């Protein structure tokens, strides 16, 4: 069975709680919801750069086509491995201001374990295997961020 995975790249700010509500209504319309267990992660842009300077903006570049394909494949693989029912990934691209949401990962399952484990693995895998590149803008200077923090 194919688990429903919804992938969206947004070039404008999005409100994670509104996006979640819309996704839940969509699942209910597909007679899948409400799920017994649901895990969510919202990532927001920090106010400081890696060096501690005030951050003006974070710019996020992606590889159109490959990024969406990787997100879909990773979501499907994680959902199958953990027995999750449905997955939602929304990821910003372009210029993002401090405090704005950059990523939302939501997973439904029959139990908390599969929902949380699927969400955590998917988040870690997309940070390393979906082609996104961050550039921090601080003091009018852009610096590419190479790699991710450990956690």
Partner 1 sequence: MPIQVKLFASLRERAGWSERLVAADELPATPRSLWRQLRLSDGVEAETARAGQADALPQGIRVAINQAFAAPDAPLADGDELAFLPPISGG
What is the contact surface with partner 1 in residues (CB under 8 A)?
A: 43, 60-63, 65-66, 69, 91, 102-103, 123, 126-135, 144-148
Question: What is the nearest approach in angstroms of partner 1 to the Cβ of residue 87?
Answer: 15
Dist. CA 138–CA 73, nearest whole Å: 34
Contact (Cβ atoms closer than 8 angstroms) between residue 60 and residue 102: yes
Dist. CA 78–CA 81, nearest whole Å: 5
Nearest to partner 1 of 18, 146 (CB atom): 146
Nearest to partner 1 of 5, 27 (CB atom): 5
Nearest to partner 1 of 115, 130 (CB atom): 130
The distance from CA 16 to its chain's CA centroid, rounded to whole angstroms, is 10
In the numeric block, the tokens 């139990």 are attached to 111
Question: What is the nearest approach in angstroms of partner 1 to the Cβ of residue 69?
Answer: 6
Contact (Cβ atoms closer than 8 angstroms) between residue 142 and residue 136: yes
Nearest to partner 1 of 63, 110 (CB atom): 63
């Amino acid at each position: 069975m194919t688990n429903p995975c919804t992938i969206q790249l947004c070039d404008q700010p999005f409100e994670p709680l509104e996006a979640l509500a819309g996704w839940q209504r969509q699942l209910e319309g597909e007679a899948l919801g409400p799920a017994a267990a649901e895990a969510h992660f919202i990532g927001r842009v920090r106010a400081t750069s890696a060096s501690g300077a005030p951050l003006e903006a974070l710019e996020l570049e992606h590889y159109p086509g490959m990024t969406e394909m990787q997100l879909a494949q990773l979501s499907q693989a994680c959902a199958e491995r953990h027995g999750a029912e449905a997955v939602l990934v929304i990821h910003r691209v372009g210029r993002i201001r401090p405090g704005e949401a950059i990523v939302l990962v939501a997973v439904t399952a029959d139990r908390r374990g599969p929902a949380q484990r699927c969400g955590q693995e998917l988040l870690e895998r997309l940070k390393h295997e979906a082609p996104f590149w961050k550039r921090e803008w601080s003091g009018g200077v852009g610096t590419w961020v190479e790699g991710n923090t450990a956690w």
